[in-house]
Amino acid sequence: DIQMTQSPSSLSAAVGDRVTITCRASQSISNNLSWYQQKPGKVPELLIYAASSLQSGVPSRISGSGSETDFTLTISSLQPEDSAIYFCQQTYRPSFTFGPGTRVDIK
Amino acid sequence: QVQLVQSGAEVKKPGASVKVSCKASGYTFTDYYIHWVRQAPGQRLDWVGWINPKSGDTNYAQRLQGRVTMTRDTSISTAYLELNRLRSDDTVVFYCVRDLGGNSGHALAYWGQGTLVTVSS
């Protein structure tokens, strides 16, 4: 299976800060990468698909980039409601593995 | 609107089986893959597999091969997940998720509310 890693595992940032999370695949996955946000006790929500496409309804301060093995999720101006865990997921067949998650806290 | 409604929580003994249902509405059931994802308390998301509701084709995570079965009943727009030979580390929340479709690369767009399966003697 393709292994996914994320860094950092957690971060704390102030409202208005620019936040970047990285996700790395153990082999090339082209642009088959999605990002999800999960708040405590809630169902995950899709943020980004195909590495850089913004899911409908997701704020434009969130963006994704990357290809092959290295990907990033950026929040351009952190808001209080962005406090959550963020997971990347590769969907390059046959198995669709998730990263371990990055916890984002607000200072 | 797209809705996925899952069956209720289950408590099972080790070695038993569990079957979780996922009823879809708000779209044409056979047009989009259904995935199953599990999550142990405080842990990462874990992809279990997908089923193509149109053909019935399935693709399972390798580590669950032989224990998991996904089926569907198109007449009632419902997908099912069955997991056999339950162990204590199968205490998880199972989510059914509808694929975004198109050129999304199988992004998981619409999530059910989750079904907690507790395995305990």
Shortest CA gap A100–chain B (Å): 5
* Mean of pLDDT over chain A: 96
- Report the pLDDT value the prediction gives residue A73, as an integer from 0 to 100: 98
A chain contacts of residue B44, beta-carbon cutoff 8 Å: 87, 98-101
Mean pLDDT for A6-30 is 97
Share of chain A above pLDDT 90, in %: 96
Query: Which residue in chain A has the smallest CA separation from B46?
Result: A98
Among B100, B111, B114, beta carbon nearest to A49? B100
pLDDT digits (tens, 9 = 90+) for B62-112: 999 899 999 999 999 999 999 999 999 999 999 999 999 988 889 999 999
Share of chain B above pLDDT 90, in %: 93
Whether residue A49 and residue B62 make contact (CB cut-off 8 A), yes or no, is no
Q: Which of B18, B21, B25, B19 is nearest to B1 (CA)?
A: B25
Q: How far apart are CA A93 and CA B57, in angstroms?
A: 14
Q: Which of the four pLDDT bands, split at 50, 70 and 90, describes residue A94?
A: confident
Mean pLDDT for B3-14 is 98
List Cα–Cα distances, B81 to A87, A95, B49, B57, B105, in angstroms. Answer: 23, 17, 10, 14, 22
Q: What is the DSSP string of A24-65?
A: EESS--TT-EEEEEE-TTS--EEEEETTTEEPTT--TTEEEE
A chain contacts of residue B107, beta-carbon cutoff 8 Å: 34, 46, 49-50, 55, 91
Whether residue B105 and residue A49 make contact (CB cut-off 8 A), yes or no, is yes
- Report the pLDDT value the prediction gives residue A59, as an integer from 0 to 100: 97
- Report the pLDDT value the prediction gives residue B72, as an integer from 0 to 100: 98
User: Would you say residue A102 has pLDDT above 90?
Assistant: yes
Mean pLDDT for A32-48 is 97
User: Would you say residue A93 has pLDDT above 80?
Assistant: no
